[in-house]
Structure 1
């Protein structure tokens, strides 16, 4: 069964944010299905859809790992299961 997650990254723009996040995902065998990023003024924002089917960690473990990465990069990273996200945003 495919387990997908939405991962958001927000913070002040600086060199290495995309590299730091995507390297961490690759290390944990998380496949990036779609990725969008933009810079608005000095603010960096990124959202990606990830497949955790082959991942070596759960969504909760991935959130903990990315919390540490975010601290090092000076950004806030949030991981949400796609199923939970869709449930929260149903009309």
Structure 2
């Protein structure tokens, strides 16, 4: 993996516990938040984070699966993308 940083997006109907649930799962995988932006528009919750890991042998697939499952449990959509892939997909 060329980057140890990830873009994590969370979108869904606002309710109590979204940030706590998402960050709890991140902590279980030792993923650190580098930068975060979160807003609520009417009742729509949106959050984007730049996150980073320290381990060289990090299992991105397992983390993506865990985050997706947590999102389903919370009723939100969670996407985890490697920073390099995110930049490549969103360049003009």
Q: TM-score, normalised by structure 1?
A: 0.91
CA-to-partner distance for each residue in 1:2-60, whole Å, 9 max, x for gaps? 51000000000000000000011011100110111000000000000000223874222
Matches of 2:43 and 2:82, distance apart in 1: 28
CA RMSD of aligned residues (A): 1.7
SS where residue 55 of structure 2 aligns? coil
On the 8 A contact 2:3/2:82 being kept in 1, the answer is no
SS where residue 20 of structure 1 aligns? helix
When the two structures are aligned, how many residues end up with a matched partner? 91
Structure 1's unaligned 5+ residue stretches are none
CA-to-partner distance for each residue in 1:39-90, whole Å, 9 max, x for gaps? 0000000000000223874222111001110111000000000001111222
Q: TM-score, normalised by structure 2?
A: 0.90
Matches of 1:23 and 1:42, distance apart in 2: 23
On the 8 A contact 2:31/2:52 being kept in 1, the answer is yes
Write the mapping of 1:7-86 to structure 2, written as runs, cut at 5 A.
Answer: 7-54=8-55, 57-86=58-87
Matches of 1:38 and 1:56, distance apart in 2: 33
